[in-house]
Structure 1
Amino acid sequence: MPTTPNLPPQEARIAVVTVSYGSGDVLDPFLQSLAEASIRSLHVVVVDNKPEPTANAVQLMTESVGGVYLPLSSNLGYGHAINEAVRSLRPEFNWILVSNPDVTVEPGAIDTLIDSVAGDPRIAAIGPLILSSNREVYPSARTIPSLRSGVGHAIFANFWPKNPWTRNYRKETESELILRDAGWLSGAFVMIRRSVFDQLNGFDESYFMYFEDVDLGYRIGQLGYRNVYEPSAVVVHTGAHSTSTSDESARMIRAHHDSAQKFLFKKYSGPLMLPVRLILAAGLGLRSRIEARRTR
């Protein structure tokens, strides 16, 4: 494993990156919450995948907190947008905090994350306890999907939520208040060591949306680094910026299953695994169609 310099917490230089896609209704609470999330000076970049030609509220919100507004000419996906933001950063920023715009960060949460990585250069990514708007815990630190846990979760989760495969995949057998390693951390809010992010060439841009965080966590682990869950840091993911029509929901479901297939095909590659990939494709395709019909 390559040597990664471990800077003491006070020398951490943090860039906060988020992506807007018509997210003006949720972005301002996120930006305002950053003021109390850290005693450090945070560099904020808002990438706009859907810039408005006039009266751009997202740009005004970004600039009102001293952030950098980065509009993109076309929407090439979430991972591409994050990578573009990171490419724009100066070299001194050694931690990248990736967040959804529909998140609010509780006081001190960013400092708690940075303090937790002190002394261990093997930690490449660290994520907080994520709560829903009604304060329920979202399982944001999961195992890498496998043929057993991932497929079992996909088949049974909707009608048997507490099945053993889902519990293992989501690590629900462990307390949500325990600091622990994870296979991957939710991209809704995760802090990533810049040197490792660069070494991996960032998010895999072949994922348009969904599973780019799973893929990144998997590749971090393949390098011998750690993904760590730190529940002492807390953020609230409101989920307020979501799809509103059945057609949009169906498209999101298809995109999620397509990305799941892409990841599993990458993990189980090679000619000997072809039968497995064919079974996975059939199963995921069937589940996608069933889920899409339920939204109508």
Structure 2
Amino acid sequence: MAVVVVSWEAAALTQACVARLQRQLAPGDELVVVDNGSTDGTAEAIARTAPEARVAVLPTNTGFAGGADAGIDASTAPWVLTLNNDAWLEPGALDRLRAHARTAEDDVAAFQPLVLFDRAGPDVVNSTGITLMRSGGAIDRDVHLARADATGGPDVFGPTAGAALYRRAALDDVRDAGHVFDPAFFLYFEDVDLAWRLRRRGWRTTYVPDAVARHAFQASSRRHGDDFVARQCMRNRLRCLVRNASWWVQLATARRTAGELIQLTRRERSAGLRSWLRTVGQGLAARSRLAARATVSRRDVERRWRGA
């Protein structure tokens, strides 16, 4: 098994994440830490405290999408776990995921652990996987429910890449332009796009609640600022829609899309409009590439999964 952790300007956070991982790694496991052009000594700190890790240093910040993509390419194991540097696995979780991988059916692309918010008080769910919304977006299934109330079944649209175990053969099967995660997403919705590609090639994701991760929500991404996060979510929802959703769904969600375009234009003026047009253009180019390889129709995916 390979584990990929992406970091940007978060040496202490990443060291803590890696230290917890070290206690669960088995002989032969690969640990890859991707440093997204940090200036805080992350790469040196990991090399010093986790000499078994392979540290991939990128010259610039490529976001989670680009960093995770590079980390997957830097590893070779048949199963790869992507893990946010502000998340950690409870003791025994890696062994449980390993056991699920050993007995996985041939069409299982990924396993989704139970992800809980890492905070004081009763356990509250962060995610049991990704589900599609009628509004054209996506949401973490069971988010904000008490742990005991999370009753989502084993079949889920896709995994949230902040803590997900992927089959490498499935990732290789759905690469687009050579990438597992499209680097144009940078941050947010890159895992939704990947889940779409997996579903349209006939792969499925299984939720395994016996493996538990905890996530200090946005402890890593909040340094970008709330405005950046809002803009990324708006752009990337559109990017994901144009790349993957049926025209029927895009028409049904046009009012929301128009509202977000107005917001982007107000925030960024002409730059916002140019960015929106560039996003649409890139999405349309990808749409035809992805359609040529798909074995499951967009409408079949939407009939099964769209509805939250």
**TM surpasses 0.5:** yes
Structure 1 counterpart SS, 2:85 = coil
Select the structure that is richer in helix.
2
Structure 2 counterpart SS, 1:120 = coil
C-alpha contact 1:45 1:67 (8 A) present in aligned 2: yes
Partner of 2:276: none
Partner of 2:56: 70
Cα distance, 1:122 vs. partner? 1.3
Give, in whole Å, the separation in 2 of the partners of 1:253 and 1:237: 20
1:114 aligns with 2:92: no
C-alpha contact 1:99 1:189 (8 A) present in aligned 2: yes
Which of 166, 170, 178 is 2:141 aligned to? 170
Cα distance, 1:104 vs. partner? 1.6
Give, in whole Å, the separation in 1 of the partners of 2:32 and 2:158: 24
Give, in whole Å, the separation in 1 of the partners of 2:150 and 2:258: 34
Partner of 2:190: 212
Cα pair distance change 1:113/1:176, threshold 3 Å: farther
Cα pair distance change 1:124/1:62, threshold 3 Å: farther
**What is the root-mean-square deviation of aligned Cα atoms in Å?**
3.0
Give, in whole Å, the separation in 2 of the partners of 1:242 and 1:178: 27
Q: Give 5+ residue unaligned stretches, structure 2.
A: 268-308
Taking the TM superposition and a 5 Å limit, the aligned residue runs for 1:276-287 are 276=252, 278-285=254-261
Which of 38, 54, 65 is 1:79 aligned to? 65
Give, in whole Å, the separation in 1 of the partners of 2:250 and 2:42: 49
Q: 1:21 is matched by which residue type in structure 2?
A: W
Which of 18, 32, 55 is 1:45 aligned to? 32
> Which piece of structure 1 moves more, 77-86 or 216-225?
77-86
1:249 aligns with 2:249: no
Q: 1:139 is matched by which residue type in structure 2?
A: S
Structure 2 counterpart SS, 1:143 = strand
Task: Tell which has more relative contact order, 1 or 2 (C-alpha 8 A, sep 6+).
Answer: 1
Q: 1:281 is matched by which residue type in structure 2?
A: T
C-alpha contact 1:18 1:99 (8 A) present in aligned 2: yes
Give, in whole Å, the separation in 2 of the partners of 1:150 and 1:170: 15
Give, in whole Å, the separation in 1 of the partners of 2:194 and 2:13: 26
Cα distance, 1:199 vs. partner? 1.6
Structure 2 counterpart SS, 1:256 = helix
Cα distance, 1:170 vs. partner? 2.6
Cα pair distance change 1:200/1:261, threshold 3 Å: same
Cα distance, 1:149 vs. partner? 5.4
Cα pair distance change 1:85/1:241, threshold 3 Å: closer
1:232 aligns with 2:210: yes
Give, in whole Å, the separation in 2 of the partners of 1:119 and 1:47: 28
Q: 1:123 is matched by which residue type in structure 2?
A: V
TM-score between both structures, scaled by the size of structure 1:
0.75
